Amino acid sequence: MVTTTDTATTGENDPAVDISLPRGLLIGGDLLTQSSGGTHGHIYPATGQVNATIPLAGATEIDQAVTAGWEAHREWMSFPPARRRELLFDVADAVRENLSQFAQLNTHDYAVPVSYAATAPLLEEFLRHFAGYVDKPHGASTPVSGSFDINLIEREPYGVVGVIAPWNGSLVVAAACVAPALAAGNAVVLKPSELAPFAAIRFGELCSEVGLPAGLVNVVPSGPDGGAALVRHPGIRKIHFTGGTATAREVLREAATNLTPVVAELGGKSADIVFDDADLDLATAISAHQGPLMQSGQSCACASRILVQSSVYDAFVEKFVATVGAANIGDPFDPAVSFGPVISESAADRILGEIDRAVSERAGELILGGNRVGSDRIGDRLAQGYYVEPTVFAAVDNASRLARTETFGPVVSVIRFETEADAVRIANDTSYGLNAFVHTTDLGRTHRVARQLEAGSVWVNHFSDISPQGPYGGYKQSGFGRTGGLEGLHEFLQVKNIRIAMR
């Protein structure tokens, strides 16, 4: 296996220059540094500087990866279940031995503060969880009326599946999708975004180093063209797509080529409901983290609409603004920093444009932030970085564009409500349905509200802490299908009924 890595050049005296950044296309166990898809100058969002030039997969490399996948799938399925299970545990062990490196690669990928970049433990957890399924029953048998026939219901792998990841969580997608896909018996072609290739490539390298069949996990960084080639490839039997709703429409059109089934994990505009009986300190801490601060609001699970009951509205807003305003903004490699830049110049421009539009449309009252972060706050070295202040609008109208479109940045809307029924109505008045957050100490209210919310995941007095035990996915335009749980495993298995006549 050829591994091509160079020392990062993330800017003068950057504390992270001592780490090598994996780049290339991992296909059939080899890391290719030449490709037909061109190259991409990967920019480190905190400095606006190119930290690596990466080759991108084109249709040629996608085809090579799918071919390698089918060979590897046949080899993988020839292994006894116990060996497949043990190899997945070995991958989990290797991930655990590289947690710090993965955190740093996440930060190199999309400048998430290194103190928040620990998604590799989740990857390890999902690998161990789904490895446990490998040698457990995947099927059943049932009687058929009027005969002694043997009627088997089997669940079989698809063969080779395509997994498309967004830039803001390639290891989370590897956890939620690659782990169950492998446990189900499939080979995987993982396409990370060109904006965040490094951690995904490293994961693919680990899979090879541990001894998984070459080509069982292929990692092919590319942009929309490579993604489209993957979706359209006739050798890909299922697609798991994680990304924006608009892109999902493109993916579904591409998948129509071969009627390839798709799971879509999309965006959200999640309501975060603070009732008058909530623990306000806890509600403030969770809402600040889950809203504008975590990944600078660049999360599908962002609590971007914060609904607060009238009687505690002023007290909550005061606490919330103080907490968000105190965020430590700076160098993502500084462990004390909790808030970093957004992903790109274009994202910063888009977000600031949405802020300006919300102000001009009087969507609400801008009470915190609203600007790019100046060098007076982050220093000259980061002055070219894509930093947008954590931004809070109060008294927002839920009918406004600000409250109805996914901003995907550090911008949240605080919305006042009177009754429990009002809260449920406002929370559900959105085209999305990914997450909802409820802050209350009333058990009856917890159950009443949770069951009325149109969202795939409802978190009560908790932030969005996904786990392999809990199926995660959207209602409405937040997508369909699930990751995690038995539902997440079954997304990578297809059902066959075998009936054997007994004469």
Q: Which residues are catalytic?
A: 191, 265, 300, 406
CB-wise, 244 or 470, nearer to ligand TXE? 244
Choose among 495, 469, 408, 479: nearest CA to 176.
Answer: 469
How near is the Cβ of 108 to ligand TXE at its closest, in Å? 16
In three-state secondary structure terms, 465 is coil
CB-wise, 180 or 227, nearer to ligand TXE? 227
Cα within 13 Å of Cα(28), Cβ side: 11
Q: What gap in Å lies between CA 68 and CA 31, rounded to an integer?
A: 13
How near is the Cβ of 172 to ligand TXE at its closest, in Å? 7
Q: What share of the chain is helix, strand, coil (3-state, %, to 5)?
A: 40, 20, 40
CB-wise, 28 or 409, nearer to ligand TXE? 409
Q: What gap in Å lies between CA 282 and CA 261, rounded to an integer?
A: 41
CB-wise, 107 or 309, nearer to ligand TXE? 107
Give the Cα-Cα-Cα angle 193, 231, 350 (nearest 5 degrees).
Answer: 40
Note whether 439 and 101 are within 8 A (CB).
no
CB-wise, 21 or 300, nearer to ligand TXE? 300
DSSP H or E stretch at residue 485 = helix 485-490
Which residue sits closest to ligand TXE, CB atoms considered? 227
CB-wise, 168 or 208, nearer to ligand TXE? 168
- Token pair of 187, please? 């080979």
DSSP string, 339-388: B---S-HHHHHHHHHHHHHHHHTT-SEEEE--SBPPHHHH-GGGTTS--B
How near is the Cβ of 194 to ligand TXE at its closest, in Å? 6
Q: What gap in Å lies between CA 464 and CA 457, rounded to an integer?
A: 8
Q: Which residue carries 């590289």 as its tokens?
A: 98
Q: What gap in Å lies between CA 46 and CA 340, rounded to an integer?
A: 7
How near is the Cβ of 251 to ligand TXE at its closest, in Å? 5
How near is the Cβ of 317 to ligand TXE at its closest, in Å? 26
Q: Which residue carries 């290194």 as its tokens?
A: 114
Choose among 348, 345, 58, 344: nearest CA to 223.
Answer: 58
Where does this chain bind ligand TXE (CB under 6 A)?
164-169, 191, 193, 223-224, 227-228, 231, 242-244, 247, 250-251, 254, 265-267, 300, 406, 408, 434
Choose among 77, 93, 73: nearest CA to 215.
Answer: 73
How near is the Cβ of 395 to ligand TXE at its closest, in Å? 25
How near is the Cβ of 136 to ligand TXE at its closest, in Å? 26
How near is the Cβ of 62 to ligand TXE at its closest, in Å? 11
Choose among 460, 457, 461, 459: nearest CA to 471.
Answer: 457
In three-state secondary structure terms, 51 is strand
- 67, 70, 75, 78: CA torsion to nearest 10: -160
- CA-to-CA separations, 480 to 44, 337, 494, in angstroms, rounded: 32, 35, 17
CB-wise, 169 or 390, nearer to ligand TXE? 169
How near is the Cβ of 484 to ligand TXE at its closest, in Å? 11
Choose among 322, 304, 309, 421: nearest CA to 364.
Answer: 304
Q: What gap in Å lies between CA 146 and CA 479, rounded to an integer?
A: 42
Report phi then psi at 489, rounded to 5. -70, -45
Q: Which residue carries 């740093």 as its tokens?
A: 104
CB-wise, 124 or 254, nearer to ligand TXE? 254
CB-wise, 27 or 300, nearer to ligand TXE? 300
Q: What gap in Å lies between CA 419 and CA 445, rounded to an integer?
A: 12
